[in-house]
Amino acid sequence: MSIDRHETNVRIDPLSGVSTTGHEWDGVEELNTPLPRWWVWTFIATVVWGVAYCFVYPAWPTASGGSEGFFGWHSRAAVEQDVAALQETRAPILQKIKNAPIDTIEKNPELLAAARTVGKVAFLNNCAPCHGAGAQGAKGYPNLNDDDWIWGGKLADIQSTIEHGVRWDADKDSRSGAMPAFGRDGILTPQQISDVADWVRTMADVPDALAPEPAGEKVYNENCAVCHGVEGQGNKAMGAPNLFDAIWLYGSDKPTIVKRISQGGGGVMPAWKGRLDDTTIKALTVYVHSLGGGQ
Amino acid sequence: MSTAEFAPDGDEHEPIVAPPHKVYPKKVLGEFRRIKWGIQLFTLTVYYLLPFVRWDRGPNEPSQAVLLDLQHRRFYFFFIEIWPQEVYYATGLLIIAALTLFLMNAVAGRIWCGYMCPQTVWTDLYIMTERWIEGDARDRIRKDAGPWTAQKIREKLTKHFLWLLIAWWTGGAWVLYFADAPTLVYKLATFAPGCGEAYMWIGIFTFTTYVFAGVMREGLCLHMCPWPRIQASLTDEYALNVTYRYDRGEPRQSVKQAAALRAKGLPAGDCVDCGQCVAVCPTGVDIRKGASLGCIQCGLCIDACDGVMEKVGRPPRLIGYDTEMNVKRRACGQPAIYKPIRARTVLYAALIAGIGGFMIFTLATRANLHLSVLHDRNPLTVKLSDGGVRNAYTIHVANMNPEPRRFVLEVAGAAGAQMEAVGAPRDAEGRIVLDVGADQTREARILLTIHGGPADRKPLPLEFSMREIETGRSVTARDAFLWP
Ligand code: SF4
Ligand code: SF4
């Protein structure tokens, strides 16, 4: 049945004693029940609240940014406050880490736990892009969990590497040590490079290594032993890796080794001193050391 | 006085929603009122004083009998100390609480509502305060309808002040369960810094107590509480409920008419239609209309009617705890039957006993030492320069005792493995030793290295164990050694 608004058939419902709105659908009539007063007031209060909110807090976009709100409240300021409060709660333990000589931290369970936590966060924020979230490394980026250290795995070595970086030109104390580009600069012939690669692979017991040409040993002794050692044991002072252990930074297959010999050089790590504060670097050092590779 | 219209078999032309009305419950004395007072005194005393009960747990732990230490994530209940990984005890308690409610309901209806529910207890306290200041129901109705006089304003102010005081005290007692009570009281009283949160919670509880017990009262039971609906679906014809025995009460008439009828040897109902049962009801129910969702089973109408029956010289308990079925049986001349032991009460009781027993058992036999092992996932394995393989694990040891303890860490299952714990010393016999402080956890990083290993490179199942040096007691946790 259609609703006829012009028809004034407002009447009192006999059962409830309430007037009807005059609307009727198939014999069902709508009672004219007004909204409860508390409901109306609550509604008005929310409207007032909503309007007030728009002025008290930043709300409106303007040409140059946005409205500031009456109290100048700002989510960024709130975050900064929270961060400051957090730093305050952490200050005592950070102070202890700062004051403790670095090689005593691991002997103190409380400091070790704190340093590992702080270090891990710093690691994930800064180091993980290259070394991986678990410090497992990648091709060209050392695995920090193993016991093979190009620049040394003692606490002091790790700390120095983090502070000054590797081949980082902006830091004069940076680890430096360059492998010549034996192929590109024409120091060795392709044949010599191939020979020495075979020789290195045999000495390192790489499973698919071919029988070595004696020429390879000669090339090694004349060109490589100076840095990598007669036994291939490497030299940490120069960052010359141990060639005859089971760990390969770039890979142990022949093309990779040939490429390394031809092109020389090495990876670069930035210096973190100045970017991270000393306490964080200290905690980071302890964390990396505690991963299991530390010497 | 109007009544809440919930009677299921009342007049079908009654409005579906009760018109708003104010209930002025009248004072009543009697057996159930005394029981209610007793329970009220008991529950309120427990609530307000429990935080001050001391319980000595030694120097390293708080000495408050009941304490929810959210900051350190511990829950203390007398001799029981619950750690966060044991919150399932709370689940068990909630299940037992629900089952107890079911059992109470199967035996005697909504007595929880009438005697023990905090809403009832505080509302009753508020009504008592109100009655003390403003007088009984009749005075209050008259005063509320009358003009605002100085006395009325004074009385209202006093009442609301006292109500707020009770509410404030209630909220105050609440926060005491979450911190050392005497210290917190002192800090709150001296406005020591750092109590903002406590003040906030006191404020919230003051507000809710005042609104729930002072303003909403029975409205909360009728319109907000889910229990009446749940209990209505759980109850059966054997459950005791406050019942008007209409077989005895009807037809109702005045005392005189009844006497005249009886003199002629004609049947006459005992109800004298005095309305006392309705006048005393805190939820505004007319019990004579039958079982009702609004009735909280407080028994006050029983007391009221018993008083009337005594005056008119009829036997008491025209209203009493009875079953709807018995009323019908009596009407047909059959004897009343009471069956508190039936399938559902036995089932509830058995479940309560079973779950409770299980909880007590696990609580009594639980280890006060906990060990968990987490395998490093990234990387899963590490190859060492000499070809060895290493797996790293993080272990957590929880010493749940109030004294520091010293443990030896061992691993079984990996023959020839070298074990190292970062930062943990070895004793004279070369064992890895871990000290864990009183009521504390300690984390340690464990490195296991194996040279060689099985040819098939299948993961080796491992069992880590923590053995307490002093007692020899140990806990174990399983993990595995993986190969690249
Ligand atoms: S108090 Fe008893 S006698 Fe009075 S009306 Fe209620 S049931 Fe009837
Ligand atoms: S009807 Fe009786 S038992 Fe039920 S709430 Fe009212 S006074 Fe209490």
Counting ligands in written order, the one closest to the CA of B299 is 2
Which chain B residues are Cβ-neighbours of A252 within 8 angstroms? none
Residue entry with tokens 């505004």: B284
Q: Is B305 in the pocket of ligand 1 (CB under 6 A)?
A: yes
Output the pLDDT for position B8: 43
Predicted confidence (pLDDT) at residue B177 exceeds the cutoff of 90: yes
Average pLDDT score over residue span B271-298: 89
pLDDT band at B71 (very low <50, low <70, confident <90, very high): confident
pLDDT band at B337 (very low <50, low <70, confident <90, very high): confident
Based on the domain organization, do A94 and A214 belong to the same domain? no
Output the pLDDT for position B35: 93
Please check whether residue A165 is in contact with residue A268, taking contact to mean a CB–CB distance below 8 angstroms: yes
pLDDT band at B479 (very low <50, low <70, confident <90, very high): very high
Output the pLDDT for position B18: 53
Other CB atoms within 10 Å distance of the CB of residue B14:
13
Residue A31, in any domain of the structure: no
Predicted confidence (pLDDT) at residue B5 exceeds the cutoff of 50: no
The reply to whether omega before B251 is within 30° of 0 (cis) is: yes
Based on the domain organization, do A163 and A275 belong to the same domain? yes
Does A117 contact B at CB distance below 8 Å? no
Residue A6, in any domain of the structure: no
Does B387 contact A at CB distance below 8 Å? yes
Name the residue among A112, A146, A290 with its Cβ closest to that of B382.
A146
Report DSSP state, residue B412.
E
Based on the domain organization, do A149 and A275 belong to the same domain? yes
Record the tokens describing residue B108, joined without a space: 């005697």
Query: CATH number, domain at A84?
Result: 1.10.760.10
CA dihedral B195, B198, B199, B202 (to 10 degrees): -160
Output the pLDDT for position B386: 84
Output the pLDDT for position A1: 44
Taking CB atoms and an 8 Å limit, are A246 and B383 in contact across chains?
A: yes
The set of residues, in sequence order, having a beta carbon less than 8 Å from that of B441 and lying 6+ positions away, is B396, B397, B398, B399
Residue A102, in any domain of the structure: yes
Based on the domain organization, do A122 and A259 belong to the same domain? no
pLDDT band at B455 (very low <50, low <70, confident <90, very high): confident
Domains of chain B by start residue, with CATH:
18-231 (no CATH), 241-331 (no CATH), 369-481 (2.60.40.10)
Record the tokens describing residue B166, joined without a space: 């009770």
Which chain A residues are Cβ-neighbours of B420 within 8 angstroms? 292
| pLDDT (tens digit per residue) in A24-59 | 889 888 888 888 888 999 999 999 999 999 999 998
Please check whether residue A225 is in contact with residue A233, taking contact to mean a CB–CB distance below 8 angstroms: no
The reply to whether omega before B282 is within 30° of 0 (cis) is: no
Query: What is the Cα–Cα distance from A98 to A94, expressed in whole angstroms?
Result: 6
Please check whether residue A212 is in contact with residue A219, taking contact to mean a CB–CB distance below 8 angstroms: no
Helix ranges (DSSP H) in A210-277? 214-219, 225-228, 254-263
What is the interface pTM, i.e. ipTM, of the complex? 0.76
A224 labeled part of a ligand binding site:
yes
Which of A71-75, A110-114, B15-19, B135-139 is the least confident region?
Answer: B15-19
Position B192, amino acid: A
**Low pLDDT (below 50) residues in chain A:** 1-6
| pLDDT (tens digit per residue) in A237-258 | 888 888 888 888 998 899 999 9
Based on the domain organization, do A143 and A226 belong to the same domain? no
Query: What is the Cα–Cα distance from B2 to B284, expressed in whole angstroms?
Result: 8
Q: What are phi and psi of B285, to 5 degrees?
A: -95, 145
pLDDT band at B387 (very low <50, low <70, confident <90, very high): confident
Query: What is the Cα–Cα distance from A51 to A74, expressed in whole angstroms?
Result: 18
Residue A61, in any domain of the structure: no
Q: Is B308 in the pocket of ligand 1 (CB under 6 A)?
A: yes
pLDDT band at B19 (very low <50, low <70, confident <90, very high): low
Predicted confidence (pLDDT) at residue B15 exceeds the cutoff of 60: no
Based on the domain organization, do A232 and A278 belong to the same domain? no
Helix ranges (DSSP H) in A100-249? 102-105, 109-122, 128-131, 155-164, 190-203, 214-219, 225-228
Output the pLDDT for position B1: 36
The secondary structure element, H or E, covering residue B311 is helix B300-311
Other CB atoms within 10 Å distance of the CB of residue A223:
18
More confident residue, B132 or B269: B132
Based on the domain organization, do A165 and A102 belong to the same domain? yes
Name the residue among A113, A246, A293 with its Cβ closest to that of B386.
A246
Please check whether residue A284 is in contact with residue A162, taking contact to mean a CB–CB distance below 8 angstroms: yes
Predicted confidence (pLDDT) at residue B7 exceeds the cutoff of 50: no
Residue A43, in any domain of the structure: no
Q: Is B446 in the pocket of ligand 2 (CB under 6 A)?
A: no
A228 labeled part of a ligand binding site:
yes
A1 labeled part of a ligand binding site:
no
Average pLDDT score over residue span B44-64: 89
Q: State the total domains in chain A.
A: 2
**HSE-CB of B254 using CA atoms within 13 angstroms:** 3
Distance of residue A145 Cα from the nearest chain B Cα, in angstroms: 7
Residue A21, in any domain of the structure: no
Taking CB atoms and an 8 Å limit, are B15 and A16 in contact across chains?
A: yes
Residue A50, in any domain of the structure: no
Query: What is the Cα–Cα distance from A162 to A247, expressed in whole angstroms?
Result: 22
Based on the domain organization, do A162 and A201 belong to the same domain? no
Q: What is the pLDDT of chain B when averaged over all its residues?
A: 87
pLDDT band at B165 (very low <50, low <70, confident <90, very high): very high
Which chain A residues are Cβ-neighbours of B211 within 8 angstroms? none
Output the pLDDT for position B469: 86
Q: Is B295 in the pocket of ligand 2 (CB under 6 A)?
A: yes
Which chain A residues are Cβ-neighbours of B392 within 8 angstroms? 145, 291-292
Query: What is the Cα–Cα distance from B160 to B162, expressed in whole angstroms?
Result: 5
Percent of chain B residues past pLDDT 90, beyond the cut = 37
Domain that holds residue A221: 190-263
Please check whether residue B463 is in contact with residue B480, taking contact to mean a CB–CB distance below 8 angstroms: no
Average pLDDT score over residue span B159-169: 94
Based on the domain organization, do A107 and A158 belong to the same domain? yes
Question: Using CB atoms and an 8 Å cut-off, which of residues 128-187 of chain A contact chain B?
Answer: 132-134, 136, 143, 145-148
Based on the domain organization, do A151 and A284 belong to the same domain? yes
Output the pLDDT for position B305: 92
pTM, 2 dp = 0.72
Query: What is the Cα–Cα distance from B253 to B257, expressed in whole angstroms?
Result: 6
Based on the domain organization, do A136 and A98 belong to the same domain? yes
Record the tokens describing residue A267, joined without a space: 């990876």
Please check whether residue A188 is in contact with residue A261, taking contact to mean a CB–CB distance below 8 angstroms: yes
CA of residue B275 relative to chain centroid, distance = 35
Based on the domain organization, do A129 and A259 belong to the same domain? no
**HSE-CB of A124 using CA atoms within 13 angstroms:** 8
Record the tokens describing residue A120, joined without a space: 């891990």
**HSE-CB of B39 using CA atoms within 13 angstroms:** 19
Record the tokens describing residue B230, joined without a space: 């749940």
Residue A195, in any domain of the structure: yes
